[in-house]
Chain A
Amino acid sequence: MTTLVAPVENDVRRSERSDRIVDLVQRQGALAVLVVVVIIAAAAFPNFRGYDNAGTILIAAAPPALIALGMTFVIITGGIDLSVGSLYVLGGVVSAYASKWGFLPALLVPLALCGLVGVVNGVLIAYTRMAPFIVTLAALLGARGLMRALSNEGSTTYLVGNDGFRSFGTGSFLGIGYPVWLVAVVFVLGMVLLSRTRFGRSVYAVGGSEDAASLMGVAVRRTKVTVYVMSGLLAGLAGAINAAKLGSGVTVLGTGMELDAIAAVVIGGTLLTGGAGTIAGTIAGVLLLGVIQNMINQVGNVPSSYQQVISGAFLAVVVVAQTYLVKLRRRT
């Protein structure tokens, strides 16, 4: 094509520079806050500075990080997955139960079960166009019920019977627990998947504008099913890791984990309305929540419930800031 007419004015809206700044704040805001919080914590609490403490923070953050990773994909498509907290607990119980059969079953049985719930979620959401909130709420209740049934109303706690699995949960390499290394590998894969593959682009496209995406030939339904399956699988994996770490399928932890994950994802700069977000941001969000928890533990005499107050405040600030930034971007 050779025709070349007067160039179209592209920049009538805003200078590229201010655009970049908005972009940077949105993408790296959580990281900046994390750095500041870590510096403050390191200055205030001598115990915070230790290498061991870093390991503690990371191992504590490993399961929530996996859940938040799946949630990032789901939220970028414009959806939500409320079932992951329940799946996490269910995964832990099932993993402990299955550990008597060996290492692999302890890992794979929860993955299969939670992945299946993810398939059901995804198919219902993508093919019947039911609201993700409702579908995954139903899955939340269903998974919780299943967990209760398996554990006789929570009265039976299955102990991890496989030594190999147990040592996977408690052992460490270079002072960092094995689960953290596993989570790190999964995150790298997730990053590549989201940012460097066609599937990743379709995740963004579906969340950015579902109608446009389908007109542009994106397999919208397949994309949606895939992200809910991933979310279920990751929640199951998180449960298995937790079971390995604790040595048993604990039935009382994990309630509300889905909300922590959503908080971490949103603090990390992912738009709750879909279409934008990064995994790097989610990591920062998860670590930020973890560091705040750790700091409050350092203070000692503050009830740890206040951690939720502070996390909540952070979330509110981030959401307000995001809304403002988006408005800035879309200003006509």
Chain B
Amino acid sequence: MSTNTNTTHPIFSSYERKEGFFDEIFDEKGNPKEIYKKLFEIYGGHSIEDFINLNNKARASFFNQGITFQVYGDNQVKEKIFPFDLFPRIIHPSEWEIIEKGAIQRSKALNLFLHDIYHDKKIIKQGIVPAEMISSSENYLHQMMDLDPPGGIYNHVSGTDLIKHSDGKYYVLEDNIRCPSGVSYVVCNRTALKRALFGVFNHYKAHTVTNYAENLLEMMESVKPHGVDIPNCVVLTPGIYNSAYYEHSYLAKAMGVELVEGRDLFVENNFVYMKTITGPERVDVIYRRIDDQFIDPFEFKSDSSLGVPGLFSVYKQGNVCLVNAPGTGVADDKAIYTYMPDIIKYYLDEEPILNNVHTYHCSRPDELKYVLENIDKLVVKPVDEAGGYGVTIGNRLTKEEIKNVQEQIKASPRKYIAQPIMSLSLHATYIDDSKSFEPRHIDLRTFTLLGKDTEFVLKGGLTRVALQKGNLIVNSSQGGGSKDTWVLKK
């Protein structure tokens, strides 16, 4: 069932609200919610032609700035931009307060968890997290055992992916603590919206997002190696062909530090140096945007030419700081996610502020019973498979298929977990084909920085949009776009 909105303006005429999903813009009666009223009024004053025009301008601005990613086609490399949407997402200060506190809580808990599993492993010895979470993880690095990273920080930069479910509450879907990307788009989206529709900012007091780089630099300086006065910080990129290269160069430029590749660095006398036109210059803190396996061919993948031979041994001796620490990947595995509420309680003695999607462990008899009776309402996942293999989504299964899944689970209940099907909220998004705003599913990635005695959450974030109708996958590789995200001041 769907109802049209009350608005009479043509650009919203094809906006159909969908039952069963949380609509960010309209209430049940189809009226714009309080926080969007003013925006609605302003946008309603524009014609369709205005929007087509503005949309094209925003696109050209991204293209000329070279904010593009590469798509490898038949025999040519094509450049594409990430689609940008003109309708901003607005987050109320009271709502944001919860998100911010929750994101910091998760980051801190994950940091303590990482320290523990690379030292005493108390949480495993006490049976709170199963030993298999470590022993079956390829991201658990034995080189990190008993190593104390400068400042005691592992996950300096965390990206938390949140959605708003049909119950109107935020849920965390994923914690990204390897090399979360996307923060440069937060800044670009703001710039693009300002250029296109600067008038709207007169009616809302949104927090700035351009302070990310200065906070990132401050955080990096806080985790400098012992004995260093003013640390030399750099950004380490895999190079210009990497899809996130724009972001790497943006961050280096905005922080005013060098953007280096592996071949610009070398190790001597257990320090890291970069090769400059006037000779070697010592490097103290490296924000590396290269995956663990590629940072040092002597320690990890030996055929990697992206990294620096000997880098890890310098890190081990405390003479350089790597941001994020190697081996953080073990804590953002899907399996660890299901233990996040326990992890938060164990280390912080606090209740989780942000909701986890509830997880049923089929190894527990009463939960198994519930799962078997409700397969049509659940997503069933194998515990030890990565990358979405063997996942079934209940409401898309035939009766026969449901039976099969039940049999599979009964055969080896320990192997499966189940979660309710999450419904991503809807937001007004400008659609080229219909030349009007239509509802599309969105999520939110927040960016949290953790330094020695410092913490920071970027007031804003990346709202990703699934541009295809009905699609729930917001990934950029799946044709997703993004929106400027405003966190309003109190």
Instruction: Report if A and B associate in a common complex.
Output: no
